[in-house]
Chains A and B, each alone.
Chain A
Amino acid sequence: MIISNDRLRDIGEFIPQPDDDILICRCEEITKGEIRRACHDGIFTMEEMRRYLRNGMGLCQGQTCSKLVKGIMARELKISPLDLEPATSRAPMRPIEMEIYARDGGNVG
């Protein structure tokens, strides 16, 4: 965990790369270039990144892309991937229809 993080820390300029158009988050169709650019907007944590771009917010909840996103961010921010906390996993584990989710034995009319 990063204890103190100065958000004006110099990470250099954004330099376009030939594979910037590659899709990293397939559910929400977020590219490598978008993730790299967001780092230069000041997005320094995985929690911020997914709020900013929606990566990992789709049907698979980042189960496919979060490791890739972590690697891309770490390289762009010039830090170790170990310094990036994964974003919070959230219920439900798999998407569930409202009508089914509603049947928990509570106030079912």
Chain B
Amino acid sequence: MKTTADVIIVGGGVVGNAAAYYLAKRGVEVLVLEADDSIGHGGSSRNGGGVRQSGRDVRELPYAMYGIKHLWPTLSEELGVDVEYHQGGNLRLALEESHIDILKGQAERATALGLDVKLIDGKEVHEINPYLSDAIIGATWCPTDGHANPMKTTLAFYKRARELGARFISGEKVVELRKFKGRIRSVVTESGTIYEGNTVILAAGYESREISKTVGIDIPMSLFYETCLVTEAQPPMFDIMLGVATAEIYGHQCDHGSFVFGSGTGLEPSKVPDSSDLRVPALDVSANCRCIMKYVPMLKDAKVVRSWGGWMDITHDHVPVISPVEEVPGLLLACGMSGHGFGTGPAVGLLLSQMVVGEKPICDITPLRYDRFKSDR
């Protein structure tokens, strides 16, 4: 078996698969190593499917907006799989005056960044979406946000990259990186296999931290757990992404008719951080149901079919690390996606491919550097 490639990508999530696709498309020889038996086993397939610009940091917005403008609209056609992308807008809902205060601040910050987000009253909310609770007194409205199917998107990038000749090896957990003459060279896996490449892209979520430590680089990030539920199919109602001012829940109706909602109980910060523990805590689904019914009471008779959970890799400042590493030439980091990895995945994959081949990147990525974390004392 061939163990060398121009570019070795560690991590078969949406970012790794998208990078593999854009690199293969540019004629670069690429090899992806995924620790799990299944491609897209982590957060890439477990998130609620938001493709958003609202709520993003000023450092992320340029590529988040690029993806929504230039990549998502044609992605299904390009990859040959329907990724169920809809640009139906995003409503962030308020039930009380204190919620409106939160939303006001968010709308002001987003508008200052040049994003079309406005605060609207209860009447306008119900004109946009008549299926919501009468108790809703206002919302922010971002018409250019949307959602897609995370499971299919992640696998669609894999499928198309594979068709273009990208090699993927699953069940191959990377444990160490090694330099040769000052440059990145080898990728060592748990099975003892040593892969060699000129460039290594590290896109393994939180696990990137242990791996990058083997060449002396540590990214300050932590694990955060969230759960989702899905209902049985409902009649088509709306293709708007929903969020709430208190950030308790978010969700949307899928093409399939089912509703997917993400949430937590509020107890998550105390959860033992262990990315191999994917069990949904007993309290989660009930709490999620209660929150959903506050905002969309007509779903009270909808049956919950499944629940699942996943871990996010949250950096210290909640903004991803997308960066070359000067101390380890040839190593590119794409980790700490901080819960924003799915919607921005295609753009991040494109950025990585541009960094590899030396194309002018779609935006300036210096604000996303790995060494930006400094003590404030």
Contact = CB atoms under 8 A, between A and B. Distances in A.
B192 to A, nearest CB: 11
Interface stretch (A15-23, A51-59, A69-77): A51-59
A6 B1 CA distance: 9
A92 B304 contact: yes
Chain B: interface residue count, which band? 35 or more
A91 B288 CA distance: 14
Interface in A37-76: 41-45, 47-48, 51-52, 54, 57-59, 61
Contacts of A43: 155, 159
Given A51-B45, A107-B290, A91 B285 contact: yes
A57 B191 contact: no
A11 interface: no
Given A97-B300, A98-B304, A101-B286, A45 B38 contact: yes
Given A101-B304, A102-B290, A4 B155 contact: no
A4 B41 contact: no
Nearest to B1: A6
Contacts of A7: 39, 158, 162, 167-170
Contacts of B193: 4
Task: Say which size band chain A's interface belongs to.
Answer: 35 or more
B302 A54 contact: no
A4 B169 CA distance: 7
Interface string A73-88: 0000000000001001
Contact of B289 (A41, A88, A102): A102
Interface string B277-310: 0101011011101101100000111111111100
Contacts of B152: 51-52
Interface string B151-168: 110110011001000011
Contact of B303 (A4, A5, A41, A96): A96
A92 B286 CA distance: 11
Contacts of A13: none
11 contacts: A1-B37, A1-B171, A6-B169, A41-B162, A85-B37, A90-B306, A92-B307, A96-B304, A97-B303, A101-B286, A104-B286
